[in-house]
Amino acid sequence: MAAVTSGAVASFFAHSIKPQQLGSRTNQSRGLSGFSGFGSGGKGGDTGKVSSPPPSFRTGSKWDMPARPSNTTTISPTPVLKRPIVPIPRTWDSLKDPLKSDPVPVEDSQANIELNLKKLKAISSVTKKKQAYSPYLLISQLPSTVMPDDIRRLADSKDSIKDIIYHRNQFMEFQNKVTVVFRSATDAVDFITQKYGKFMSGHKLNMTMLDPYNPRDKRSIPPNLRSEPFSGHLVLISGIPAASRPDHLRTEFRRFQLMDTTEAAIIPVPSKRMASSCQYLIRLSSRSEAFRFVRTYHNTFFQFKEFRKRCPIRTTIIY
């Protein structure tokens, strides 16, 4: 029975499909269903639309979709729309205008200057005096190797600074603070508004206006005396054995020109408690002699013959 059935199906396909219809079927699109041409009754070579409604191939699955209508016309591909490529400029590709000024730093901004002026007004309001500002300025957080010329270079005019006083303790150790005396209070205000928050050798400068009427600030204000003419002529030498005497040092320092004054040229300086060495303040005739003294004795050693001990010697120029 199975053989008869298969033969009947084969004879049906052979008699129902003509060669002209086979040729026309090849021109159909690939998306047409293979069962849409049966029973159409069209002539051979007819390329018109099929009059019967488009059937659908059902398999019982949820993805079944209706078959597309049979159309024998040649399907031309739709042209792809080509949009012009417009380059978008990037921020890092834009050239910097040489005439355009750089942004103002934070320390030089107008807001920071106004903040400094508010600080000055706050300091002056404590005293409740008519004089708003004072010519005394305290600069702290300085490097240990700072020189007076380094501070004078910060000012717009070197003549605006009258004197610079270093803060030292009783052992002549520098406290990284100086009191700058200006010619007028206006010069002090200009110095703060321009140089507040600047860095010197990696140290951020901290400035404070001193009030001569405030008892707390009076300790940092020097007396009204003339500036020290011997600044840079003094040398502090430390590391000398405690048994040394000024007469012994005068013999050792006979190669240098000591200051010829009524005061002693070699002054003892207090040392820390339980220290095995002492220190002296040496007065020299000129700055060149002071620098020569430092180059000769700094980072050298004092040799004890009886104890076979070496004491390192340190020298520092006092301003």
Residues (pLDDT < 70) of the chain are 1-110, 113, 116, 118-132, 222-230, 261-263, 304-308
The model's pTM is 0.54
**Can you give the residue ranges of every domain in the chain?**
110-218, 234-318
Q: What is the CATH code of the structural domain delimited by 234-318?
A: 3.30.70.330
Tokens matching residue 181:
């005396």
Question: What type of residue sits at position 298?
Answer: H
Q: May I ask the CATH class of domain 110-218?
A: alpha beta
**233 in Cβ contact with 287 (< 8 Å):** yes
Check for a shared fold between 110-218 and 234-318.
yes
Of residues 34, 39, 30, 32, the one with CA closest to residue 12: 39
The pLDDT assigned to 36 comes to 43
Place of tokens 């980072």: 299
**306 in Cβ contact with 241 (< 8 Å):** no
The pLDDT assigned to 69 comes to 54
Work out the angle between the directed axes of helices 185-195 and 110-127 (0-180°, nearest 10).
Answer: 140
Round to whole Å and give the CA distance between 94 and 244.
73
The pLDDT assigned to 304 comes to 64
The pLDDT assigned to 45 comes to 47
The pLDDT assigned to 189 comes to 81
Place of tokens 């004089």: 131
Round to whole Å and give the CA distance between 275 and 4.
129
